[in-house]
Amino acid sequence: MERWSGRVALVTGASVGIGAAVARALVQHGMKVVGCARSVDKIEKLAAECQSAGYPGTLIPYKCDLSNEEEILSMFSAIKTLHQGVDVCINNAGLARPEPLLSGKTEGWRTMIDVNVMAVSICTREAYQSMKERNIDDGHIININSMNGHSVVPQSVVHFYSATKYAVTALTEGLRQELREARTHIRATCISPGLVETGFAFKLHDNDPERAAATYESIRCLKAEDMANAVIYVLSAPPHVQLNLSFVKSSNRNM
């Protein structure tokens, strides 16, 4: 990770869960991290904790609604002005709404597409352009995906969400091919975890907290820190090593 010290990473959805854990880990390794979310109160608290801990990097909170393209473009413009540009882009933000295919609300479907697909695509494009205009040839774009992007589980409330994650799988492979065609050494990686113990299920089942809690009690879940370690592993790979697709699962065994 030494080569990333002092360089700029963007982490979307950095206020809680996986995003917060990834942001902290990158700051611990000396990176300058722009952490964005719709609300930055928790990111500001995390930034203060990182500073108090004496981590060599810095965390810069940035308020951005990823469902709004103008706000995304404004964020990248601000990063360019203040920090030259993005060297690492971690598309972590994602959400699910309990909207089945046969009875779901269009608004919920659209929200999932806007954040899980469109925001990923826009951030990827802008990050690549930022790297290209500065002749950065060793940048990295990491998409935090899901096992739901590789198999459809028999739960109607996540079927549309699964479709958006299948899109992320396709987008990452398409990105890898386009980067190869562009003859650049910028890398693209998709990390697909199994069940991670965050607040995700409580947002999905916001009207049924007992069901949300039961989701995490059914198996031994991954922790957000496990995902942060996966991101560090991917970034630590030598420049000539391309990790296209990584699955992260819990062993479900008692240690």
Enzyme catalytic residues = 161
Burial of 9 (0-12, 13-18, 19+ CB in 10 A): buried
Q: Six-digit token pair at 8? A: 């700029």
Q: Six-digit token pair at 239? A: 């420049």
d(CA 215, CA 144) in angstroms, rounded, equals 20
d(CA 36, CA 78) in angstroms, rounded, equals 12
Beta strands per DSSP E along 46-135: 58-63, 88-91
Helices (H), 84-158: 106-113, 119-133
Q: Six-digit token pair at 72? A: 């995304």
d(CA 132, CA 175) in angstroms, rounded, equals 14
The DSSP code sequence of 12-24 is ES-SSHHHHHHHH
Question: CB under 8 Å to 252, separation ≥6 — which residues?
Answer: 219, 220
Contact criterion met (CB below 8 Å) for 115 and 92: no
Cα(first)–Cα(last) distance of the chain, in Å?
A: 29
